[in-house]
Amino acid sequence: MWPAQGNKSAKGGGSTAQNLRTLGMTSAITLAGPKPSDYLRTNELHEALKPYNVFESDKELNHRMEILSKLNSLVKQWIRDTSVARNMPPNVAEQVGGKIYTFGSYRLGVHHRGADIDALCVVPRHIHRSDYFTSFFELLKQQAEVSDLRAVEEAFVPVIKMKFDSIEIDMLFARLALKEIPDTMDLKDDMLLKNLDQKCVRSLNGCRVTDEILRLVPNIDNFRLALRAIKLWAKKHGIYSNVLGYLGGVSWAMLVARTCQLYPNAVPATLVHKFFLVFSQWKWPQPVLLKQPDNVNLSFPVWDPRINVSDRYHLMPIITPAYPQQNSTFNVSASTRTIMQQEFKSGLAITDEIMNGTATWDKLFEPPNFFGKYRHYIVLLTSSLTPEDQLEWCGLVESKIRHLIGTLERNPHITLAHVNPEVFSPLEPATDRQCSMWFIGLIFAKSENLKVDLTYDIKSFADSVERQAEQIHMLKEGMWIEAKPVKRKELHTYISPSLVKRERKASASTTITHINGRSSGNGGGTVSPSGGTDISSRKRRSDNMDQYGKKPKVHDPEHQITQAEDGSLVVVQSCGEDSNSGFSLDEYKDNTTAAKDERPTTGAAVVQEGFVCT
């Protein structure tokens, strides 16, 4: 029961108030203990999470441990055989060791049922990365339990991906400058990084950060349940994706860990509530830090805006606690930050109700209606001939979508570009090819007689993806990418009508005029204008709502998509009398940082925040 865990420390034993005060950059906000109602809400939270398969059974957990034990034995066998092949005496080769470490959600203890395992293979100095991607890769091929084996040697962090007895595993490699790797080795020592190359340091970073997070929270059990809830909430609300510019698993873990430091005696239900309280009011780009950065002089680059100019443009910095410190959220853009800030405020309003007993936890995990929020969307379609090709192709396209978002944000007439992380399949799949779709919701700035040409931006994105695919020799016959502007009324032709809820009809409707024609990019990157009429969207939560979720009525301009004489796609705006988009340029201005850039435009001055693609 949760009441029995109220005084556990990070080590599992007792903890004094003084020890709790010292966790983090500042002292705790409060050391108050939980009330009986807090225990009740925590037990309700635990029960509410069960239907979402966030907990594994003991049998499933033991299966994972068996797999890791087999992998660890394989690593030791491989290192021993490779050492003997290099004329090392067998009795010495038996002692050089080698070990598998885990990190990520599995190491944190918050992995869900069926989740993958992030692992790290640590070897002594006479074993090289080339050995890992040749002889060890061949050894894995020979294992009956291994399937879907593939190596990504040239990645930023080189990795071997596989399924081992039906469990997906991403396995990194790190070579330490040591003669032996004992089973008891702790990777915490910063001096282990001395004389290592950048790829090994990056590979070690995952384990070092994960372990440091666990050392910096006052109660691991409370941290874990709160983090499970926040991760589920983030996934349900479409803001869990580092590659698309939202936050990834380690970033959410650090935010929850910081909340635990500020409320060290709180139980999970209270921590979830305080999480939304803290980060709905956080003054970004003020960084989130779990500890004072280590002053280690090993010449590796660290996040430091005083020295690195590019670091000053990071919009939502969350800094990893292990050396070399890095910003885990450098992909965040102005739009994705605005969307997450709105979700923080919405989460606070809901958890206020939950803690008061007027709502249940299920309300927190209800997904918002993305397809009812906006008048205009861009749909990205990717296609290839085989499932294997589509897996590679989608991975590349997804890694580039944030650059398209950045391009759209730099357009002074676009207020918000909201990408949905979910990948959709077509309503009627083709029998001869694979197809996947992403959707981006758009809000345009209010201006009179405004024309916005999106053709070049979309075509440039498609061309850049194809160029990248050619450079890395991925582009194959049948691979193509297409981007189309779509009105909300037309979404039913791409996704299930059940996803597009009927919205309240506005007093002023928006019309799209389609002039026959088509603008095409080279090599499969095409843009097609669409026609039809639109209905007004549901009001969405905006940045100026108070903690109870209330906001003033906001008007948005009407839009008209048409095709210019030269065949380019343009969005024409005129000021309408009514709109239910629920988001205005003024609201967006409130969220811009000091890094914004004001640029005059035809008919209006529009604020555009600086965007840095790293």
Q: What residues form the annotated binding site for Mg(2+)?
A: 116, 118, 170
Q: Are 323 and 296 in contact (CB under 8 A)?
A: yes
Catalytic member of 116, 221, 352, 586: 116
Taking residue 436's Cβ as centre, other Cβ atoms within 10 Å add up to 19
Question: How far apart, in whole angstroms, are the C-alpha atoms of residue 599 and residue 584?
Answer: 18
Catalytic member of 101, 106, 132, 240: 240
Question: How far apart, in whole angstroms, are the C-alpha atoms of residue 389 and residue 140?
Answer: 23
Question: Strand order of the sheet with strand 526-527?
Answer: 414-419, 434-444, 376-384, 480-487, 526-527, 519-520
Evaluate the CA torsion angle 45, 50, 52, 56 in order and state its sign: positive
Taking residue 288's Cβ as centre, other Cβ atoms within 10 Å add up to 22
Q: Are 126 and 97 in contact (CB under 8 A)?
A: no
Q: Are 483 and 379 in contact (CB under 8 A)?
A: yes
Catalytic member of 76, 99, 199, 231: 231
What letter represents residue 150's amino acid? R
Return all residues near 396 (Cβ < 8 A) that are at least 6 apart. Answer: 465, 468, 469, 474
Return all residues near 180 (Cβ < 8 A) that are at least 6 apart. Answer: 95, 96, 97, 124
Catalytic annotation present for 578:
no
Secondary element (H or E) of residue 470: helix 455-471
Q: Which residues pair with 152 in a beta bridge?
A: 159
Secondary element (H or E) of residue 255: helix 249-262
102-124: buried (b, 16+ CB within 10 Å) or exposed (e) per residue? bbbbbbbebbbeebebbbbbbbb
Provide the annotated binding site: 103-105, 116-118, 170, 231, 240, 249-250
Q: Which two tokens stand for residue 321?
A: 């606690």
Provide the annotated binding site for ATP: 103-105, 116-118, 170, 231, 240, 249-250
Evaluate the CA torsion angle 116, 118, 123, 128 in order and state its sign: positive
Q: Strand ranges (DSSP E) for 156-232?
A: 159-164, 167-175
Q: Which two tokens stand for residue 192?
A: 């282990």
Catalytic member of 131, 170, 457, 556: 170
Catalytic annotation present for 362:
no
Return all residues near 499 (Cβ < 8 A) that are at least 6 apart. Answer: 371, 491
Return all residues near 553 (Cβ < 8 A) that are at least 6 apart. Answer: none
Catalytic annotation present for 231:
yes
Catalytic annotation present for 105:
yes
Catalytic member of 15, 83, 105, 447: 105
Return all residues near 492 (Cβ < 8 A) that are at least 6 apart. Answer: 500
Among residues 545, 542, 533, which one has the least CA distance to residue 585? 542
How wide is the angle at C-alpha 73 spanned by C-alphas 67 and 78, nearest 5°? Answer: 125
Catalytic annotation present for 118:
yes
Q: Which two tokens stand for residue 71?
A: 């992998």
Q: Are 548 and 349 in contact (CB under 8 A)?
A: yes
Secondary element (H or E) of residue 77: helix 58-85
Q: Which two tokens stand for residue 373?
A: 């929020």
Catalytic member of 39, 83, 118, 457: 118
What letter represents residue 218's amino acid? P
Q: Are 387 and 314 in contact (CB under 8 A)?
A: no
Catalytic annotation present for 170:
yes
Catalytic positions, please? Answer: 105, 116, 118, 170, 231, 240
